[in-house]
Amino acid sequence: MILFLAGTSDARELAIMLSNAGFKLLTTVVTDNAAIELRKAGLDVYIGRLKSEDFQSVIKEKGFQAVVDASHPFAEEASLNALSAAKVTGVPYIRYERESQLHANEGVTMVESYVEAAEKAFEKKGVILLTTGSKTLQIFTEKLLNQPDIRVIARMLPRKDNMEKCEQLGFPQKDIVAIQGPFTKEFNHALYLQYGVTTMITKESGKVGSVDEKVEAARELGIETIMIKRPKIEYENRFSTFSEVLARVNELLTKETITDGGH
């Protein structure tokens, strides 16, 4: 049986592929919405954030024989916790991470952290669009909110907890774009024009994260892009294609032992 860290569209596709190949999985996600899509595909789901100790307990109690980490490239804490738990419990750890697409070209400034991104945006002033989610919103509000010559627009998932966080941080309702992607280049283009965006902040999430569409639309309009690089984590068994993950799982485990008598 495999403990599978999910939460993204490509992770869901990989989980389905492994399941169809005859492997039994328990997928883990943080939100109810992510769980719905996995359950529709007939997969077992655990909802909630797990610390390293939690991962260790689950691995031991359920007898998991491998951990496949297909969490978001920026879900650093979850990956580190899963990697640590796999080492402690002695089970194989396999990392799937969508390919990185660096955009170090004209109009794109690559930075190492959210803090550095906020500092760069502060220097540029103007209308700043955040497409970095709600988790790190406070870093940007502390640096940019209510500053002269700066307006901050935040695009995020339309979830209750996100709206509550915005309210707690004093984020103006008129500057919140609550919507779920993926978004086309044309949609981004229209959004930038609607708010008069001069700087767009995004993450190096990869093609599946629709980064290309955001950057290309910004480039066409002469909008500056600040892109946050991925966390630097020394993964074991890191792969960027589904076929590589399946091959590695097949090497490490047999379907008979994984399925515990049937799938």
Radius of gyration of the chain (CA): 20
Taking the domains of the chain in order of start, what are their residue ranges? 2-99+231-259, 108-228
Residues 201-210: tens digit of each pLDDT? 999 876 555 6
Domain 108-228 has CATH 1.10.3720.10: no
Give pLDDT, residue 104.
55
Residues 170-192: tens digit of each pLDDT? 999 999 999 988 899 999 999 99
pTM value surpassing 0.85? no
CATH classification code of 2-99+231-259: 3.40.50.720
Give pLDDT, residue 254.
63
Residues 23-81: tens digit of each pLDDT? 999 999 988 888 888 999 899 999 988 889 989 999 998 999 999 999 988 888 899 99
DSSP string, 181-221: ----HHHHHHHHHHHT-SEEEEE---GGGTHHHHHHHHHHT
